[in-house]
Amino acid sequence: MSFRQALLFVVYYTVFQFIVVAIAGPVLHHFLGLDVTWTDLLLALVLLTCCGPIFVGLVYWSRASRDRPWAFTIRSGLSMCAMVVLYASAVTLSARRLGLSLISSAALPAYMATVLVRIPGHGDGDSESIVMVVPG
Angle between helices 69-98 and 38-49 (to 10 degrees): 180
Q: How far apart are CA 2 and CA 121, in angstroms?
A: 34
User: Rounded to two decimals, what is the model's pTM?
Assistant: 0.68
What residue ranges in the chain does DSSP mark as E strands? Answer: 115-120, 128-133
Cβ pair 115, 133 in contact under 8 A? yes
pLDDT band at 13 (very low <50, low <70, confident <90, very high): very high
Contacts of 120 (CB under 8 A, 6+ apart): 128
pLDDT tens digits, residue range 52-99?
899 999 899 888 888 998 888 888 889 998 898 888 888 888 887 777
Alpha-carbon Rg for the chain in angstroms: 19
